[in-house]
Amino acid sequence: MAGWQVQAAGVGRHAPSRSATGRARWRPLFELARLLFAEPSPAAVKHWLWRTGLIDSPELRLPMTGVSPALAGRLDAEIVRRGTLAAA
Sign of CA dihedral 85, 86, 87, 88: negative
Q: What average pLDDT does this structure show over 45-72?
A: 92
Average pLDDT, the chain: 82
For 8-48, the pLDDT digits (tens) are 555 556 556 788 888 888 888 888 899 999 998 899 999 99
For residues 53 and 16, the model is more confident at: 53
Sign of CA dihedral 53, 58, 61, 63: positive
